[in-house]
Amino acid sequence: MSRLAVMAHYDPEGLVRPHARRQVEALVAGIEDVLVVSTARLDDESRRWLSERVRLVERANYGYDFYSYKVGLDTAGDLSAYDEVIVCNDSYVGPLRPYDRIVAEMAARPVDFWGFTRSARIGPHVQSFFVAFRPWTVASRAFRLFWSDMEPLSDRSKVIRRYEVGMSARLHEAGFTSAAYFEEDDDDRRLSRRRVRWWAAHRGRLPRSRAELEVFRQRLDVAWNPSAAMADRALADGRLPFVKLDTLRYDPYGLDAARLLTLCEKRFPDLFDGVRTTLEETATFYPQRPSERLLPTPLALRPLAPLVRYRVPARQR
Amino acid sequence: MSGGRALRAQVRQVLDSGLLDQEWLEAQTGTAYAGPAEAATAYLTSHPRLSPHPLVEPDWIESEHTVPADEDPLLWWLADAERSATLSPHPLVDVSRLARPLSAWLGDARPDTRVPTPREVGPLTWGELRRLALTAVREHAALDAVERVPGPTPTLPAPPSGESPAGRTPGAVPLVSVLMACHDQAPTLRAAVASVQAQGLGDWELVVVDDGSTDDTDQVLAGLAAYDERIVVVRIPHGGLARARNAALARARGRYVAFLDPGRTWAPGFLAPVVAALEADGRDVAHAATRVRGGYHAVAPTHAQLLVDQHVDLDTLVVRTELLRELGGFDESLGGAGDHDLALRLTERHDLHLVPVVGADARRDAEPDAWTSVVLGRRLVDWDRADRALREPGRTSVVVVVRGNAAGILAWYGALRDAADEQAELVVVGVRVRRWIDTLIRVLTARQPTARYERVPAEVNNAVALDVGLARSSGEHVVLVSGQLVVPDLPALRRLAEPLDDDGVALAQPLLVSGQGLVVCAGATFGPGRSVRPVPFLEGHAVRDAQAADRTTLPAPLGPVVAARATTLLRLRGVDPLAGDGLPEVDLGLRAVAQGLGRTVLATDVPLTCTRAALPLRRRYADAIALLEERYDAPPPGSRAAWAAAGFDVVGVHHRLTGPDGERLTAKDLPLAVPQPVVVPHRSPLAVTEGLPALRWTIDLASPAGRKGESWGDTHFARALAAALERLGQRVAVDPRQARHRATRDHDDVLLVLRGLDRVAPRPGTVSMEWVISHPDLVDAAELASYDAVFAASVSWSAATTARTGVPVTPLLQCTDPALFHPGRADGEDAATDVLFVGSSRGVYRTAVRSAVAIGAPLTIHGVGWEQFVDPAAIASTFVANADLGRLYASASVVLNDHWEDMRRDGFVSNRLFDAAAAGARVVSDDVVGLPDDLGALVRFFHDEDELRRLLDERDTLFPAADERRALAERVGVAHSFDARAVTLAETAARLVRERSAE
């Protein structure tokens, strides 16, 4: 088997942080051909470290991770030589299971492209921090046109809409199917739904008018982001094979991310070594996004916090 | 009221009405009823609706009137006495001709009692009508029983039990080959394939043929095949569905083949039980039900039923592979409807067997396209038999397609009856007509020895319907009529066959005119360039231009009517069903030329009235030309020559641009550009010094178009004047008032307005003349000044108006047509009438008539509106044809005349004075100034009743003797003829045209 992984890297201080180094090493261990596209102003040590292990492409910092994927795929050359083509970035701590195990498990699934997780937010899509494409998908017109039509965007939400959600949409419309390594079960869905409601109660004040009630109702039913809503499924022996740094940094659903980090450090001491430091060192570069700001928990809801907050799953799998 | 009680009350109403005929209902349903109440219940609860009585047709009532949706049409009709006395409940009865309610009339009617039928139907006794109707409805019921497919059922019967082949271990050779052909359907492939993979039976192979897709079909299939080795992918260059299916069949290894369109999915339990059924009883074909809204479509259609509609879904059909191969697979010459064709071929020798399980959701019904007509046409028309059939020399068969429209059907049969011509055959082809229309046509056909009827139960296009009619016809000549004509005119259609006496002529194209009297189409011509895009020849022109091109060769016919020798049509194998939704007649003409069968000529003898909608120049045009341009590389020659024959040179091109759907064009659209010729009329040299130049004229009339205009004196006046101008070498069109604004007047040199009630705007680019022959009060100075020349039919008014306005007005008096009005037309020695008056009352008790009645003169009146004023015995007729008027005048002892008061005062001498004088009559008129001297001896004025009495009493001494009158009349005929007026007008026009051209 011959696989290609293109990893997009960025660091505001030009470093390759410990979690990213472990990610590169895991890729190299499980994937035959690894190419890192970095938009960081790498220091010498980091550049040397990467160059010794992977094909390194450095480029200016624009266009987000998707443009790095494109540059990497263009650099890789003839993609038809690979049995699988993977794109991923350095935004998560992981993999919590070896890549060769993950890839081997997915090889039995009759799909055209897959990722760690799928989300229905905005539109059904494979989350773009890790996506693998089967060779026929790579050979398709839809795949080729998606990448060749791409232009660098400097707006994060546009990147999500046009490229993250857009890529899945384009491939689905062309007739291809997708799947996720993390398969949600009923328990997951139940808990996720509860956590979305918890989040909704923190997004704005409780409704005081009919119009506000309608907005609130809609918020109660929005699709969840599994990498935040199910983040503690990582503790179940890496069933969710990653934890997003953003989840730890912003706690987007208000589920006590600090507790999650502590639990993760306890469960995966080696894999989470240095993560806390990284979060602290880069905090100033990643201020809270206004769109994700939460209000304090209303008094009446405080007793419910233990029902939703991150915890070690009861059933270890 | 409960439903049951309400129904019982309605049953009682139906029974009380006397309009329930139990035997009639039984004939419709083939069921025997215990009694009238049961029959009435059957009627009230029927769906589709039955007819309760041979003279009551609820569907007709509903089609003619607005019946509330929840009311029974019969009960609605009965509910209002006024309604049931005036509205007919059946197209074959006219209740307005009955003095009492229909049920009362029926109560006394005996078999030999005459039914008050509408004019079109002719005399018919009640006994005969009922007998014919019963026969007709039984014939319909018998056919319907064979053709009708049961509707959806709410449940399916239990599927057969037995060993399912599901447990069979897949061997080297699969049991079933699933054939799938796809072209650019990648997005739907996975769902379709998944539904095959989900079948209980696993012993299959899926042969997917990628028919030259340009989307990601190949990659999606690669992904599918990577995970299931039962999937075999075959790639071929794009060649159409049938070829792709045959390619799949060629690769099939299974004992059976099943089919699945990539846009659809199978129900999970489809394949195993159907294959089990085939295995169990050794059948060759079986199929499953489909799911429809509210139930299941679960039928095993017969061949006869498949000739009506495609009732079997190919995607639920499983066939023994060998059988399909024996049948030759799919017909690759068909671009569509291959499923239907295969189902028809399968059922020619094999019965379909329904396995009561669901195969798939029913297809969403698509409109049957031309390919369906191609497939059905092959089976509905037996060309070899039609070739052998004997044809009657001299007979013309008119083939008419009907789909509904009872009034239209009655009109055709009425036309056949009026024609009373045993060499005129009417072949009616009813396409998917409902029970009552079918019955109506059968009754009408039974009464007309030269009518034939052929019923096509399927929804086929007009081409197939015409071919069916052609095969059924017996005439030497055949006129194909595919659209609704405003007036079905059989003698006109018979005459359309006349040009076919020339062996070089294959097709005759009629002149089609609109209700406004303008040309709708006189055949097809093609614009400059290479496109094969026909446009209607002479559209919007006056009929006169078409008459100039009579018997001209056309590039092709165009329009809903075309005539040909039957042999020609048979050699062409009729109208092509594939072209049948567009312009099949154009294709017919082009094929006739290509096969050396002859050309198309225009016959203008009898214009046929139709609407522009009869030409598919909007919605269906794009499809029609797509087909024509696929078949023909370049437009046929002859367009320029046709225009030349009509008197025009093609000098340029103008493109009519429409959106692809024939509607509005937006900037995004790829327009459909139809090249239309830009033409100019031939010009005769103006510089000749002797004689008149040949000019193009239009006479603008105040009278309306069509039949209504025939009763206007202006119409005949204009025609006679036009004929006189034509004798002077002019070309003259006569426009009714509706045609006033036609653009094609711009081709004219001269506009001559005969002033009526409307003021007409002259066109600055054309020499415009006005002749004031009536309503002088309406004409003002501005109007007069807007014309290049003005004439008036009064010496005194002309002089006064010239003096008053400064616009020169030339006197040009009324006139007469000596060919129609001369003393030689008299019936005998002062024979027919004593005192004659011809004219309508116009709602007033006119002076001449009032005075004549007052003195007790023996008066004879022809005209409308006199009943309120005079003894009806004095009214001889309400209408006299212009051609007969001369005879009446010449035969009368005295002709009475009077004028509108303003006309009399202003000296507008009525044309009746000229006509009557030219006929040699003694004319007694009210006093009018400006009577020409040469009429003086023949016309005497009266001012009161005493004077009138004296004139009548002493007519023999006051008027010259017969011989002298004859001589005077002949002089009037020369001096005051249309020819004389035409010379004045033509000379004036020539002078004005020359002056203009010199500017």
ipTM score here?
A: 0.91
Say how far apart CA A64 and CA B497 lie, in whole Å.
Answer: 80
A148-157, B381-390, B500-509, B583-592: range with lowest mean pLDDT: A148-157
Which residue of A112, A136, A174 is in closest CB contact with B187?
A: A174
- Per the listing, tokens 């400064």 go with B806
Least confident of A207-211, A282-286, B249-253: A207-211
B557 membership: H or E segment, kind and range: none
* Token pair for B134: 């019963």
Pick from B219, B224, B227: CB nearest A139:
B219
Contact between residue B424 and residue B394 where contact means Cβ atoms under 8 Å apart: no
Which CA distances in Å does B855 have to A181, B782, B858, B942? 116, 46, 9, 13
Contact of A38 with A50, CB cutoff 8 Å: yes
Residue B465 is predicted with a pLDDT of 95
Residues of A in contact with B215 (CB under 8 A): 141, 174-175
| Rg of chain A, C-alpha, whole Å | 20
Rounded Cα distance, B260 and B267, in Å:
11
Q: What is the DSSP letter of B211?
A: E
What pLDDT score was predicted for residue B662? 62
Across A13-22, B214-223, B304-313, B717-726, least confident range: B304-313
Residue B188: which residues within 8 A CB-CB, separation 6 or more? A175, B262, B263
Residue of B nearest to A134 (CA): B223
Whether the pLDDT of residue B4 is over 90: the answer is no
Which of A134, A142, A173 lies closest to B223 in CB terms?
Answer: A134
B215/A176 touch (CB, cutoff 8 Å), yes or no = no
Query: Nearest CA of chain A to the CA of B496: how many Å?
Result: 58
DSSP A164: I
What count of Cα atoms within 13 Å lies in the side-chain half-sphere of residue B896?
28
Query: Among A144, A170, A176, which would you mutate to test the B interface (most chain B Cβ atoms within 10 Å of its Cβ)?
Result: A176
pLDDT value at B93 more than 60: yes
pLDDT at B170: 57
Question: Would the CB atoms of A112 and B188 count as touching at under 8 Å?
Answer: no
Across residues B752-760, what is the average pLDDT?
Answer: 92
Give residue B368's pLDDT: 74
Tokens of B696: 């193009």
Q: How far apart are CA B715 and CA B682, in angstroms?
A: 28
B187 at A interface, C-beta within 8 A:
yes
- Among partner residues A134, A137, A175, which is closest to B189 by beta-carbon distance? A175
What's the rounded Cα separation, in Å, for the pair B572 and B592? 7
Q: Which residues of A touch B188 (CB under 8 A)?
A: 175
- Lowest mean pLDDT, pick from B557-566, B678-687, B852-861, B925-934: B678-687
Looking at residue B683, what is its pLDDT? Answer: 80
- Report CB contact under 8 Å: B216, A141: yes
Cβ contact B227–A136 (<8 Å):
no
**d(CA A1, nearest CA chain B) in Å:** 15
A11–chain B Cβ distance below 8 A for any pair: no
Report the percent of chain B where pLDDT is more than 70. Answer: 96
User: In A, which residues are within 8 Å of B187 by CB distance?
Assistant: 173-175
Q: State whether A137 and B219 contact (CB < 8 Å).
A: yes
pLDDT at B162 over 60: no
Which chain B residues contact residue A168 at CB under 8 A? none
Q: Sorting pLDDT into bands at 50, 70 and 90, what band is B617? A: low
Write out the two tokens for A158.
């546009």
User: What is the spatial distance between Cα B796 and Cα B908, in angstroms, rounded to a whole number?
Assistant: 9
Task: Please tell me if residue B219 touches chain A, with a CB cutoff of 8 Å.
Answer: yes
Asked if B208 has any chain A CB less than 8 Å from its own CB, the reply is no
Looking at chain B, which residue has its C-alpha nearest residue A173?
B187
Q: Where are the alpha helices (DSSP H) in B473-560?
A: 490-495, 543-548
Distance of CA A230 to the CA centre of its chain: 12
- For residue A317, pLDDT over 50 is answered with no
**Cross-chain residue pair B187–A177, CB shorter than 8 Å:** no
Chain B positions in Cβ-Cβ contact with residue A174 (cut-off 8 Å): 186-187, 215-216, 220
Cβ of residue A140 closer than 8 Å to a chain B Cβ: yes
Q: Using CB atoms, pick whichever of B187, B189, B219 lies closest to residue A140.
A: B219
Nearest-Å Rg of the Cα atoms of chain B is 37
Beta B859-862 vs B875-877: how paired, if at all? parallel
**Cross-chain residue pair A112–B223, CB shorter than 8 Å:** yes
Among B713, B754, B755, B742, CA closest to B910? B713
Looking up tokens 């054939």 gives: B179
- Tell me the pairing of strands A178-180 and A113-115: parallel
Q: How many CB pairs under 8 A join A and B?
A: 46
Count Cβ neighbours within 10 Å for each residue of A33-67 and write b for 16 or more, e otherwise: bbbbbbbbebeeebbebbeeebbbbbeeeebbbbb
**Is A113 near chain B, with CB under 8 Å?**
no
Tell me how many degrees the CA angle A290-A294-A296 measures, rounded to the nearest 5: 140
Chain B residue with Cα closest to A141? B216
CB nearest to A174's CB, from B215, B226, B227? B215
Sheet strands (E) in B484-546: 505-513, 519-521, 524-526, 534-536
